[in-house]
A and B are shown apart, each in its own frame.
Chain A
Amino acid sequence: MTQLFLEQALNGLQFGLMLFLLAAGLTLVFGIMDCINLAHGSLYMVGAYLVAAAAQASGSFWIGLALGVGAAALLGLVLELTLFRQLYKRDHLSQVLATFALILIANEAVRMIWGAQPVMLNPPEALSGPVEIGGFFYPAYRLVIIAFGIAVAGLLYLLVAKSRVGMWVRAGASNREMTEALGINVQALFTVVFVFGAALCALAGGLLGPLLAVQVGMGESVLILAFVVIIIGGIGSIRGALVGSLIVGTVDTLGRALLPTLLRAILPADAAANLGPALASILIYLLMAGILFFKPQGLFPARA
């Protein structure tokens, strides 16, 4: 039982860190530029496809990952310079409409290039099986995702908390006008942040490709979770994104693992079988509603 619980805790951590990779970029773009980017999930999808294509062409997952992330960052740069720059000054409705259009365009473009069927992206051979840690087995590849997640979180912490660019980013998130008044080139800063967000998206897509189906529409399902995370964590806050991701990942995993069993102990089998899965799937939304009730700005609001 303790082993099962340990394994589920690791699963929660891994799922949380994977969400963090996505939410970090989203929260920065949303928080600093005040721009709602629904196409964030499309960048994740395109990233996964690019990584899959590069991995197949090069025969190595790691080369594919590096090339795919680079290509996605480049795509992010083009998008920022051509489209998003026009959107910052518009209201949220225009941003939602424009980025929703981008989702549709991205989905159809991917289908035209790679076809309607999912494409293959498998982990490197050495990581495809489970490893034994202290008596129980855990998929090696999931440990790699955990390692990447922790590394990215650490890197982001250093960047945001210790570097000069990070200081500008934090300043931009808490008060944009004042930052501009102090002579920071906010436009260039926005470009850097957006490109960085796109690269993180592609990294998430590429890393998750071996666990999930790389297919058209994969971005939308994960986008909703990323929005839940940044709303719980507080929009614009990297720390909030990390804490929010870990909470969502853990609550979702443990809810799915434990709720059906718990309910069976207190309810008749029939009712438990119906209620358990239903409750487990809305648990994170209940959590979000609860947190918003007590902290309407999220756990770590960026704007004081």
Chain B
Amino acid sequence: MSLRLTALAAALMLAGSVHAADKIKVGFVSTLSGPGAGLGVDIRDGFNLAMKRLNGKLGDLPAEVLIADDQQSPDVAKQVVDKFLKKDKVDLMTGIVFSNLMLAVGPTVFENKTFYISANAGPSQYAGEQCSPFFFNVAWQNDNLHEAVGKYVQDKGFKNVVIVTPNYPGGKDAVSGFKRYYKGKVAEEVYTKLGQLDYAAELAQIRSIKPDALFFFLPGGMGINFVKQFVSAGLSRDTQICAPGFSADEDVIKAVGAPMMGMFNSSHWAHDMENAENKRFVADFEKEYKRLPSLYASQGYDAALMMDAAVRDVKGRVEDKAALQKALEAKRFKSVRGDFKFNSNHYPVQNYYLRAIGKDAQGRVTNKTMGTIFTNHADAYVSQCKMK
């Protein structure tokens, strides 16, 4: 009897080593409270929507998604990531919105040999010298959307441009991304305080310069403040405003409304893109959450689909790191943005599109895709990445 039990146990253990995981654990850490929560909530909702479509499974294995709030603080992010890695032993991670948090937790995650699928933060460090086999970005490299705006402004023949951005590293990166493709005259670079409320002084200065185009990168509430005040100052008559998609997506449009019409922005995805995956995603999202998805939601959705495809590819053997890395690199899922592939630094090589804000068929103020700015565009840091 006891012999039989032992044999059974041995057989079970053997079976276990072949088919190691009977469940996939995903650690989802994102900004879900505080002023930056809008973005994290959208990524989470997109991710959850994809999980619902997959019937709660990743690669046909039941999946458990552990969700935690990083409160937009690097310290809190490190704590919850540590807990997910050491106590819960998650197989895959995703969710972080802000690059400074990503840079804070990255080393711990990579050291633990856990794959991180970033659904937003795309710091240049992880695209270049500090690139890691365990880091994938399913969205973009931080500079990409700024580069696309720069290219558009250059191609359109704007000659006199003012740049407005907060005085912090992300703002400086935006300016360098923009200037990588815009070669014309920059009349003024205005650096504002991070979290600034009132832009009257800057707007008066812009009025006196009379630029033909204005590029701004003011994340979150700052962008909303700026656009509202820009329009009420009457500057939109003479100056074309352009921004990366972050400053002109559903979250901002919902807060500003009609005054945003006519604004140009860049994105790798738009809710009106004509492909079957995207149509299904947008329809399901609207049905589930009663609002249009933002680019953040599309990225969260793609992150879940990417995990699903890779886990299926390795037949659930997620502990085989080399195989899982190959499966992730292969990108065998259909993205809602259409086709793209991963570069050698695990960042996407993809198209970037021009969107303009206008009214759709139902009279809602929203983005419309106007054309392609970049085709199969890679980031500027890939040559510095020596993937081990």
Q: What is the size, in residues, of chain B's interface with A at 8 Å between Cβ atoms?
A: 44
- In this complex, what residue of B is CB-closest to A6? B204
Docked-complex contact B197 and A212, CB < 8 angstroms: yes
Residues of B with C-beta under 8 A to A137: 207, 233-234
Q: If A15-B198, A128-B231, A139-B229 touch, does A213 touch B33 (CB 8 Å cutoff)?
A: no
User: Among A107, A130, A273, which residue has its beta carbon within 8 angstroms of that of B189?
Assistant: A273
- Is residue B110 contacting chain A, with contact meaning CB distance below 8 A? no
Asked if A122 and B259 sit within 8 Å, CB to CB, the answer is: yes
| Measured CA separation A128–B234 after assembly (Å) | 9
- Say which residue of B38, B201, B207 sits within 8 Å of A256 (CB atoms): B201
In angstroms, Cα B155 to Cα A165, docked, is 66
A8 to B257, CA, bound (A): 27
Asked if B234 and A116 sit within 8 Å, CB to CB, the answer is no
Q: Is there a chain A Cβ closer than 8 Å to B308's Cβ?
A: no
A141/B232 in contact, CB under 8 A:
yes
Within 8 Å of chain A (Cβ to Cβ): is B167?
yes
B33 and A111 contact, CB distance less than 8 A: yes
The answer to whether B167 and A277 have CB atoms under 8 Å apart is yes
Instruction: Determine whether the beta carbon of B234 is less than 8 Å from that of A129.
Output: yes
- The A161-180 residues at the B interface (CB cut-off 8 A) are none
What B residues does A273 contact at CB under 8 A?
Answer: 189, 191
List residues of chain B with CB within 8 A of the CB of A11: 198, 200-201, 204
Within 8 A of B (CB), among A1-36: 3-4, 7-8, 11, 14-15, 18
A232→B44 CA distance, assembly (Å): 44
CB under 8 Å from chain B, chain A span 226-257? 253-254, 256-257
Instruction: Give the CA-CA distance A178 to B58 in the complex, in Å.
Output: 72
CA distance A142 to B199 in the complex (A): 12
A123 at interface, CB cutoff 8 A: yes
Q: Which of B37, B202, B221, B252 sits near A212, CB closer than 8 Å? A: B221
Residues of A within 8 A of B195 (CB): 221
- Which B residues are CB-close (under 8 A) to A217? 34-35, 221
Are B201 and A8 closer than 8 Å at their CB atoms? yes
* Complex CA distance for A221 and B34, rounded to whole angstroms: 12
Give the residue of B41, B193, B208 whose beta carbon is less than 8 angstroms from that of A277.
B193
Q: Given A215-B224, A216-B34, A256-B201 in contact, is the A120-B254 Cβ separation under 8 Å?
A: yes
For A216, the closest partner residue in chain B by CB is: B35
Q: Which of B5-42 contact A (CB under 8 A)?
A: 32-35, 37-38, 40-42
Cα distance A18–B32 when bound, in Å? 30
Which residue of B is nearest A11, CB measured?
B200
Once the chains bind, are B225 and A120 in contact (CB under 8 Å)? no
Within 8 A of A (CB), among B315-362: none
> A142 — which chain B residues lie within 8 A by C-beta?
200, 232
Closest Cβ of chain A to B262, distance in Å, is 14
Please tell me the number of chain A residues within 8 Å of chain B, measured between CB atoms. Answer: 49
Determine if A280 is an interface residue (Cβ-Cβ < 8 Å): yes
- CB pair B198 A253 closer than 8 Å: yes
CB pair B193–A116 under 8 Å, yes or no, is: no
**Is A116 a contact of B41 with CB atoms below 8 Å?**
yes
CB atoms of B201 and A211 under 8 A apart: no
- A4 CB contacts on chain B under 8 angstroms: 204-205, 208
In the complex, whether B251 has a CB less than 8 A from a CB of chain A is yes
Cβ A257 vs Cβ B233 within 8 A: no
Contact, CB under 8 Å: B198 / A211 = yes
> Considering the chains assembled together, what is the distance between the CA atoms of A281 and B197 in angstroms?
12
- Confirm or deny: B54 has a beta carbon within 8 angstroms of a beta carbon on chain A: no
Is A262 among interface residues, defined by CB-CB distance under 8 A? no
Q: How far, in angstroms, from A213 to B199 measured CA to CA in the complex?
A: 12
Say yes or no: A216 contacts B225, CB within 8 Å.
Answer: no
- List which A248-285 residues lie within 8 A (CB) of chain B: 253-254, 256-257, 273, 276-278, 280-281
Residue B255 is within 8 A (CB to CB) of chain A in the complex: yes
Least Cβ distance of A232 to chain B in Å? 18
Contact present for A211 and B225 (CB under 8 Å): yes
Chain B nearest Cβ from A138, distance in angstroms: 8
Q: Is the pair B37, A216 in contact by a Cβ cutoff of 8 Å?
A: yes
Find the B residue at minimum CB distance from A224.
B195
A106, CB-defined interface residue at 8 Å: no
CB of B257 within 8 A of CB of A117, answer no
Q: Is the CB of A107 within 8 A of B34?
A: yes
Q: Which of A190-218 contact B (CB under 8 A)?
A: 210-218
Q: With A8-B201, A120-B257, A253-B201 as given contacts, are A211 and B189 in contact (CB-CB < 8 Å)?
A: no
Nearest chain A residue, comparing its CB with the CB of B40: A116
Q: Are B204 and A215 in contact (CB under 8 A)?
A: no
Minimal beta-carbon separation of A262 from chain B (angstroms): 13
Nearest residue in B to A5 (C-beta to C-beta)? B204
A22 to chain B, nearest CB (A): 11
Q: For the complex, is A118 an interface residue (Cβ under 8 Å from B)?
A: yes
A280 and B193 form a contact (CB under 8 A): yes
Q: Hey, which chain B residues are within 8 Å of A115, CB to CB?
A: 41
Q: Which of A7, A222, A256 has the most CB of B within 10 A?
A: A256
Does B312 make an interface contact (CB < 8 A)?
no
Q: Which residues of B contact A256 (CB under 8 A)?
A: 192-193, 201-202
- Contact residues in B for A218 (Cβ distance below 8 Å): 35, 221
Query: Quick check: A139 and B234 within 8 Å, CB to CB?
Result: yes
Beta-carbon nearest neighbor of B41 in chain A: A116
Could you tell me the distance between the alpha carbons of A65 and B249 in the complex, rounded to whole angstroms? 28
8 A Cβ contacts from A122-143 to B: 122-123, 128-130, 137-142
Q: How far is the CA of A128 from the CA of B257 in the complex (A)?
A: 12
Q: With the chains together, A52 CA to B131 CA distance in Å?
A: 45
Please pick, from A108, A117, A221, A280, the residue contacting B254 in the complex, using a CB distance under 8 A. A117
Asked if residues A7 and B204 are in contact (CB atoms below 8 Å), the reply is: yes
**Contact (A8, B254) CB under 8 Å given A116-B37, A129-B234, A210-B228:** no
- Listed from nearest, the 9 A-B pairs whose CB atoms lie closest are A130-B234, A213-B224, A11-B200, A217-B35, A213-B221, A118-B255, A277-B191, A281-B193, A257-B201
5 contacts between A and B (CB under 8 A): A130-B232, A137-B234, A142-B232, A212-B221, A253-B198
In the complex, besides A11-B198, A216-B37, A277-B193, 12 extra interface pairs with C-beta distance below 8 angstroms are: A4-B208, A8-B200, A8-B204, A18-B198, A128-B231, A137-B207, A139-B233, A211-B198, A212-B225, A216-B35, A221-B195, A256-B193
Q: What residues of chain A have their CB less than 8 Å away from a CB belonging to chain B?
A: 3-4, 7-8, 11, 14-15, 18, 107-108, 111, 115-120, 122-123, 128-130, 137-142, 210-218, 221-222, 253-254, 256-257, 273, 276-278, 280-281
